[in-house]
Structure 1
């Protein structure tokens, strides 16, 4: 195993022998604007206690120049990932002088050159283990310490970190910025951002506490930054968490920076939260996009307590922060912001992610068995986030909200600035609720899989709820009937506790019976035949958006499980999506319908349905209220549909060149690129067309989109060039690699790319061994063959039993997705 892949056992042994006391990290990024320089100077002074004679310090960079142990210069013992340290005393001071390398993959210290104004931007991203790409450290979450950062940077740059500035020495060309020491935090939570960022300031106060607020983005995006809206959500969240957690915000300031080429949605660095700049909307945005951004802001804010203040010992308990933040993000959105329907999006979109992940052969318990860092990297998944949050929602129903939050408050006070495991949390929740959670935790947190709930008639009379994989559920059964106006409304609701495979229930069947009404528990639900017929004709009459979302979810799960015919689902999408008022539900249905057309239909039916879906998108876009979010959502769906059917290519080109218009449609740069990519994928646009569009939008986003559109053209040589670039061009950034892969796959032209299937399986092992895990993951997932047979992937799995476990996990998951596609196509 590579020494870069730290294991749980060896890090546990290190933390039992080493106690980190303090760090001082000095970074020199003065030459960052020079594109010919890939290196930066980094010096770390570590203070720690030891009960052993020797240990190692983690660092991944270009070189280690010197190591000093307790004042003595020692020989450098460095293998590219670990620096051996010997001759330790009970108390030690070690200084490591090294050379780091700027990242293009979003791991470590990422460098970005903005083509709009030729400015350079830096930011860090570390979770789970990339702080060692920037400074020498003990790279594990349970070795917390205060950090003092000092950064030498070009003059005039904004330089920010977790804490406020202590001193700044500056002239016109350079500055040295030293920050106040942090409170004790883990290495992966430290952060730096530097560059000519545009900044907007505000503040939030409660009682005697005032927290300075900042919002930052690239200068060339500042015209699009709606800082006031972001500050409003931020203040609402701080108000909510201050009341619910009864623990003052501990991190001093609260900066939020939107950064380019980001691998995640956001990261909870205390005092300096980083977000993808996709949340800075360059054009029109739907309500679902604003709601999603608000949810992310609140998710990261919840981490200031769950994850930053109290941190898991090791990545097995990653859920201790992510599940809580996912739950709290939705709860705070619903109760503290304008997004009062946040649980609708959670039930329909976040839980869909969990249901899908939980049915894979690689599913795992919420409390996972994470043996090393490669496994940790892949565990930021639908189980850890959305299933965990769903189970927490069920736990709140089980122990009561007051007890739940009192347990959380006890947890913060008992373990502040420390590290915990599942047992620590359960102890506080049990003390607050008076309930023994041992069995509950075993069934919900330490087992995997999703139950399916069905309502069946009992022999004789009455009904029973039947569940696969029995677990304890507190859930509601909603009986919906038509009122005098013809609307489907709740007529009766029963709250029941179930534990067994079959639970009797007394109810009078109504036109729609909805299991898990209110979405209290985590389970897939099936609609009975009568209920399906009701929603097939009257889905749009369901007044409650959460109930409507649960129906859409049930229909989709039945479709992807091969229980509901794909054309039947698509007809419901074509009929009811055009009148769906909830933007989160509409966005989800549009994505699911597009996926069903591309993956779940037999080849003989695919072309016909591609055209039908294209026409549905065109008609709905044309009929939508001008300038509405629905119109924009349908236009984006049209662009997706038009990549595989050119039936509206003439009209799309006319809209793009201005000879035709869709009244009210905001034809922003991102939508224009989506439409041009569709034309390119179907052979209806050439390189000259795409170059002309780049002339209109010569920005970072425009260049990335241009790269994807060029690779989308249905030409053998174009596909060959894209394939070679994806695997061989190591200069591609993470976003540019995604663009090349997206273009290669655009149009679903198996006739042009099937020849690369064999090469894929020959290449993934070397890519995993030689590229960073982030880049290798994108290659493995993005270029997995969408074949009509499992034979090649099974052959690779058989021949590569000894391949790294994380790589095998990705391939196994892709195999399962393909197997599901093939199964659903046959389920007629």
Structure 2
């Protein structure tokens, strides 16, 4: 599809010449349960004004049967992605009848068959530009219009869209559902979900406004759906945003549907928010999982205003919605729900994502230069989300919270149902705060990189200098031995070196309170205190900042990997904040696999497994900590088989007291055993019989591919690259199984084949599937030679593909550098 990509310049020209008035979209999904039917009938009627004689509509389907312009049928000019239309008048109505294709990749209209009850489920996912896989449209965010959807589905199906029903007719065979017209919205946030979904209803009322609420999931997951908890967070969020935004919820209803094989955490379709089914917990879940789900619910809810009501003109300003939603999700969690420690998870987890992304050679400003859709697809990253949210947190302090929210309210009122750029936002914030924000925007929104702050001989030294408002926390031991804040010093810094006078303290913590966006280093004395007494720091946010400083220093090669692992082993068992514990466990596992020299890796793999095993057994029964450590055991056991017999005993009958052996944990343990050669096909098949669900079948694929046998790895390789019928989840499972167990001796032979296949993968697969293959199968080599040869000989490759390869190269180079292996002149520094 040579014209599937869309550039910023051509879409700007199109929106200048075309003004859309409305859409009517009719979809015939009545044959969706028939797996032999790959497509569905789609009819789009779009009315628009034009100042040009020719334009195009975007549509990616199997065929276009007919095109009617102003009542007359015209020739079909269609290349598989663009439908050219000539002979336009000042006012036009175009009717396009075509055939769309059900998706297996989570892009467009995804079709899923539930193996539990053999029922079919459909849902849409469009961002940034996959509405064109379902109906013909002007696929760009600045061409908003009202949409009226009409769907034909099997009788009895639940059919949902952005708006409430206008009419339903069901004759026992098919169901015709017509929806009320939407308010003006962009194509990428229109939505449909259809199937025998299980539904729970409620409502939210504020003043004279009552909003119907719905929560939906597959029927086979209904017993796991904790709808009351989700409704509670939903109502708390609506209360919070109604108060802060002072703009009534505009979308009529608020449905939330949990869908299978989803590519994202969630998507903000107004009135019909979609979430990954991973948020429907099939067994025990930690506090960190519940907190993460609440934050995601509130993130998507913030989008009802940031992104849906007011939308960016083009993907350069993606941050105008994602950074705000990330910030608002954490703020609302901390202030409106039981998850009052939400900023702890944000500081340690979300900002870690931003710091990682901002140190890659492909980093970009928060306000990015997005020339086309392929670039946009890859910009849903740690910069756009977490760095942007971190910077917004600083901006609130800079302009004042009251002034910030007053400016936001002005922004909503001035630009409701329209499209904006950065300047539009800054105009409203400046007007309310009285501050000229141009300098702030230049320093934070239009630059790249992250400063590193260090205390050195009575001064704060920062690399890559920027203006920061920060605090230094001085911590000492109290009479009971706890390490507590004694004094906090707040100051502004701009220069590379800023003198500061500090009293002696056992621990001096830069960026105490997490006021700014920067990596911090612990001075020698503070590191010594932490190394002996990290578990005595009582404040969870302070502990989170310390863990973050330790992790960043390890990644940068400043702190020896074995010192980090020693602290993780010594202090993680005492960590009470589940978000911090989860992050430390993941980072320790990553450190062993990527940052230790080979001479230390085997020893630490065994030590870490034994530490996880012991802590799992010593943790309080049925606690979140016990569950987190059991999951860590599964990860550690995938590279060290010494506990294989004990793990088999747990799986068969000797479960530690209180440990919830839900299906996901069982599969994690079986996969670990498979990766070390200690589980047979019969074992895995028996577990599938026990859990013959969609998740179980996906996990079974992964476990089979994890077995350390040459022919198994060969089959997994061929499947990942050659089987175009794999769903997105099944592809991930095959790739993960191929990589499980750190069997470099079995998979190194595929390095050359990987690089030889890259161009074909990118050309022939959708960008979502191609991205999974490019990232997931990147070789974990001990040299940069292979990737450097590919980059040198593929300078003409698509820029989005090159970006992915360059990023994976940088991750590999960092690992080699931290391990002390030879580097070439092109390697980047931390």
**TM-score relative to the length of structure 2:** 0.99
Alignment of 1:87-166 (within 5 A): 87-166=87-166
Match of residue 757 from structure 2:
763
SS of 1:284's equivalent in the other structure is coil
Kindly indicate whether residue 283 of structure 2 is the aligned counterpart of residue 288 of structure 1. no
- Give CA deviations for 1:758-814 in whole Å, capped at 9, x if unaligned: 000000110000000000000000000000000000000000000000000000000
- Give the equivalent residue in structure 2 for 1:678: 672
Q: Describe the SS at the equivalent of 1:485.
A: coil
Asked if residue 589 in structure 1 is aligned to residue 584 in structure 2, the reply is: yes
In the other structure, the counterpart of 2:634 is: 639
SS at structure 1 position matched to 2:236: helix
* Structure 2: distance between partners of 1:475 and 1:212: 43
Q: Within 2, Cα distance between the matches of 1:750 and 1:422?
A: 47
1:640-678 CA distances to partner (integer Å, 9 max, x unpaired)? 0000000110100000011x2211100000000000000
Deviation at 1:729, TM superposition (A): 0.3
Q: Structure 1 residue runs of 4+, over 3 Å off?
A: none
1:622-771 alignment, distance < 5 Å: 622-658=617-653, 660-771=654-765
Q: Kindly provide the CA deviation profile for residues 378-412 of structure 1, in whole angstroms up to 9, marking residues without a partner as x.
A: 00000000000000001111111111111110100
What are the residue-to-residue correspondences of 1:387-402 with 2, within 5 Å? Answer: 387-402=387-402
Q: How far apart in 1 are the matches of 2:426 and 2:486?
A: 38
Matched with 1:211 is 211
Counterpart-to-counterpart distance in 1, 2:540 and 2:511:
14
Structure 1 position 55 matched with structure 2 position 50: no
Residue 805 of structure 1 pairs with residue 809 of structure 2: no
Q: Which has the higher mean CA deviation after the structures are superposed, 432-441 or 125-134?
A: 432-441
Give the superposition deviation at 1:4.
Answer: 0.5
> Where does residue 359 of structure 1 map in the other structure?
359
Task: Work out whether residues 334 and 340 of structure 1, in 8 Å CA contact, stay in contact via their aligned partners in 2.
Answer: yes
Cα distance in 1 for residues equivalent to 2:46 and 2:341 = 48
Distance 1:707 1:469 in 2: 46
Post-superposition CA distance 1:264-286 (Å, at most 9, x none): 00000000000000000000000
Moved more, 370-379 or 477-486: 477-486
- Any unmatched runs of 5+ in structure 2? 823-830
Q: Deviations over 1:133-170 (max 9, x none)?
A: 00000000000000000000000100000000001111
Whether the 8 Å contact between 1:565 and 1:827 is mirrored in structure 2 is: no
User: After the TM superposition, which residues 558-573 of structure 1 pair with which residues of structure 2 at under 5 Å, given as runs?
Assistant: 558-573=553-568
Tell me the distance in 2 between the aligned counterparts of 1:456 and 1:335: 37
Structure 1 residues 213-362: aligned runs within 5 Å: 213-362=213-362
Equivalences for 1:357-756 in 2 at 5 Å? 357-457=357-457, 463-658=458-653, 660-756=654-750
Note the residue ranges of structure 1 that are not aligned, 5 or more in a row. 458-462
Partners in 2 of 1:209 and 1:194 — Cα distance? Answer: 28
What is the SS of the residue equivalent to 2:456? strand
Distance, in Å, in 2 between the alignment partners of 1:190 and 1:823 is 46
Whole-angstrom distance in 2 between the partners of 1:340 and 1:764: 45
Say if 1:562 and 1:827, in contact at 8 Å, map to a contact too: no
Distance 2:473 2:89 in 1: 67
Counterpart CA distance in 2 for 1:438 and 1:703 is 53
Answer whether contact 1:127 1:189 (CA < 8 A) is retained. Answer: yes
> How far apart are 1:499 and its partner, in Å?
0.8
Cα distance in 1 for partners of 2:77, 2:821 equals: 60
Contact 1:148 1:180 in 2 (8 A): yes
Match of 1:122, SS? strand
Q: Match for residue 825 of structure 2?
A: none
Corresponding residue for residue 193 of structure 2: 193
Partner of 1:815 in structure 2?
Answer: 809
Give 1:485 deviation, angstroms.
Answer: 0.8
Q: Which residue of 1 aligns with 2:78?
A: 78
- Shift of the alpha carbon at 1:827? 8.4
Distance 2:43 2:221 in 1: 33
- d(CA) in 1 for partners of 2:445 and 2:385? 13
Q: Deviations over 1:57-115 (max 9, x none)?
A: 00000000000000110000000000001111111100000000000000000000000
2:499 match: secondary structure: strand
How many Å separate the matches in 1 of 2:798 and 2:821?
34
Deviation at 1:124, TM superposition (A): 0.0
Which whole-Å CA distance do the structure 2 matches of 1:661 and 1:52 have between them? Answer: 71
Give how far 1:748 is off.
0.8
Q: C-alpha distance in 2, partners of 1:107/1:544? A: 43
| Cα distance in 2 between the residues matched to 1:502 and 1:179 | 61
Q: Distance in 2 between matches of 1:270 and 1:500?
A: 44
Please state how far the C-alpha of 1:504 moved relative to its aligned partner. 1.2
Residue deviations 1:460-481 (CA, integer Å, cap 9, x gap): xxx1111111111111111111
CA distance in 2, matches of 1:708, 1:228: 33
For 1:288 and 1:783, how far apart are their aligned partners in 2? Answer: 29
8 Å CA contact retained: 1:682, 1:747: yes
Work out whether residues 793 and 815 of structure 1, in 8 Å CA contact, stay in contact via their aligned partners in 2.
yes
**Structure 2 SS opposite 1:648:** helix
How far does the alpha carbon of each residue in 1:600-626 deviate from its partner, in whole angstroms, 9 at most, with x for none? 000111100000000011001000000
| 1:25 matched residue in structure 2 | 25
Give the drift of 1:503.
Answer: 1.0
- Distance in 1, matches of 2:464 and 2:414, equals 36
Contact 1:649 1:684 in 2 (8 A): yes
2: distance between equivalents of 1:536 and 1:98? Answer: 65
Separation (CA, whole Å) in 1 of partners of 2:146 and 2:421: 22
Query: 1:460 aligns to what?
Result: none
3-state secondary structure, aligned to 1:247: coil
Once the two structures are TM-superposed, the CA of residue 746 in structure 1 deviates from its matched residue by 0.5
Q: What is the CA distance between 1:509 and its match in structure 2?
A: 2.5
Aligned residue for 1:25, secondary structure, equals: strand
Give the Cα separation in 2 of the matches to 1:667 and 1:374. 42
Q: TM-score, normalised by structure 1?
A: 0.99
Q: Distance in 2 between matches of 1:590 and 1:2?
A: 44
Q: Does the CA-based 8 Å contact 1:214-1:256 persist in structure 2?
A: yes
Give the Cα–Cα distance (whole angstroms) in 2 for the partners of residues 710 and 803 of structure 1. Answer: 34
CA distance in 1, matches of 2:389, 2:755: 36
Please state whether the residue corresponding to 1:258 is helix, strand or coil: strand
Q: Following the alignment from structure 1 to structure 2, what is the Cα–Cα distance between the partners of residues 434 and 2? A: 49
Q: C-alpha distance in 2, partners of 1:210/1:629?
A: 37
Secondary structure of 2:213 counterpart: strand
Q: Secondary structure at the match of 2:77?
A: coil
Q: Which residue of 1 aligns with 2:827?
A: none
Conserved 8 A contact 1:29-1:151 = yes
- CA–CA distance in structure 2, aligned partners of residues 498 and 420 of structure 1: 32
Q: In the TM superposition, what whole-angstrom CA distance separates every residue of 1:712-751 from its partner, at most 9, and x where no partner exists?
A: 0001100000000000000000000000000000001010
Q: Determine whether 1:776 maps to 2:770.
A: yes
* CA distance in 2 between partners of 1:238 and 1:495 (Å): 34
